[in-house]
Structures are given as structure tokens and as C-alpha cells.
Amino acid sequence: MSHPPDQPHILVVDDEDAIRTALSTFLGRLGFIVTTAPSGEDALRQVEHTEPDLLLLDVVLSEDNNQAMSGLEVCRRVRARERFIPIIMLTSYPEWQVESLGQGAIAFITKPWDNNALATQIRTTLAAVSRIREEASDKKNPNHIHLEPAIEIDMEHFRVSRNGQQIDLTPIEFSLFAFLARNPNRQWSRKDLLDHVWDYSWEGYARTVDRHVAALRRKLKLDRDELIETVHGIGYRLVL
């Protein structure tokens, strides 16, 4: 399915008709192209044939059918595909957050959701993915970056691994890490990073950068100033 580049395609996967309808209406008003799927099997068929830009995916799907494919299984299968599709998980159960993020989801939204927060999450995610794809298509940029300790960044497939084990990063975390890796041994202020990675000045939210650096260090199991070094009073640099 082709669509204008300024109208991203979002696939909403939920077994409740009322939720699919509410999200379709809301996202449609925001200018997105929206399709829906009531089951995991239907979702995977649509992913195969339409290649959506983003999935909004219920964690449990059919609660009264133990044989039904779960949202977590859909997440695993979509993340195993060659082309990266960001997935935002939806659920009524906050306790599923750790497991859903561990299966490759990039964010977690609890039902009932806040429309403004959901819209911001979707737009930020799509912008980051678009920016990374554009950078990956630039022949001047390497598609694979190797760092010590045993870290590899695969720009083409949105994958980061350490010692051969894949690390699940959100698109913003990935974009931040790739930017620092492509511009090593140079100090960047928080404002610089907001401008380059988030693509706009976000006055008053410089601590957003700190939270994302902290998440990178945690997920990559880095010590405080290992690889990504804090430049006190300024920001950060990646040290080779």
C-alpha cells in the first residue's frame, strides 16, 4: 500500500472493537492513515502486505482464548523482520511493561491513554525513524559502526548489539547513540543534542537528554563514564 510520505500508516491491533474505533478516529483526525486488526494473525498478514510505519499493539489481545496469538508474540515476529517497524504496546495491565519492552517494543501506553501523550509519542517515534533512515541512506555514512567494548550499531536494520546480544533501544535512544558514535571525541551540549537528535530546540527540557543517556548506559551495561562520557557543565561525548 502506497501513501503520501506526510501521511504515515499506523496499524492498530486490539481485540476490542470500541478501542480500534476510538484510536482510528483520533489518529485519522491527526492526519494518519489508519488500518486495524482484531487479532495477532490478522496483524501479521497486514504487516506482510502493507508494511505499516508503526504498530499500536495490545499486549494480551484475546483474554478469553488461551490459544490466541498474544501481542507479545506479534511483537517478537515483527521485530524479527528485515525492515524495522516501531511498536508501541497498549495494555490495561502496567505489570506487562517490562516484558513488552523486553520483547522489542519501543514504548508502553497504559489504557485508558492520554491522547496528547500518545500523539507526542507517535510523532516523536516516526520523526526519529525517518531521520535514521535518511542518515542510513547517505552513502557517506557507514551502515555499521563497531565500538569497544564489543558493541555494533547496524544503521540499516536499527539494531545495536553487545557481545552478539541484541539490545532493544527506542528510536530516540538509537538515534542519540548513533549520532554520538558518528561524531566521537567531541563534546556536545544538551542543546546541541536536542537540535541534532530531536531535530528541534526543546527549551527547558535539557534533562530529557540526561534521561536518554542514562537509559543507554543501563541497557548497554556501561559504567558511568565508560564509552559515553559526561562533560560536566556542558553535556556528553563518546570516547574512542
Which parts of the chain have pLDDT scores under 70? 1-5, 63-65, 94-104, 199-206
| pLDDT value, residue 204 | 46
For 59-70, the pLDDT digits (tens) are 888 766 677 798
| pLDDT value, residue 132 | 84
| pLDDT value, residue 1 | 47
For 154-189, the pLDDT digits (tens) are 988 888 999 999 898 888 899 999 999 999 999 999
200: three-class secondary structure by DSSP: coil
Structural domain boundaries enclosing 22: 9-131
| pLDDT value, residue 201 | 47
Question: What CATH code is carried by the domain that includes residue 193?
Answer: 1.10.10.10
- Say yes or no: 61 and 102 in one domain: yes
Alpha carbon separation from 40 to 59, 69, 239 (Å, rounded): 10, 5, 43
Q: Is residue 1 part of a domain?
A: no
| pLDDT value, residue 174 | 92
Q: Is residue 109 part of a domain?
A: yes
Q: Is residue 21 part of a domain?
A: yes
| pLDDT value, residue 103 | 61
Starting at the edge strand that comes first in sequence, how are the strands of the sheet with 228-231 ordered?
Answer: 188-189, 235-238, 228-231
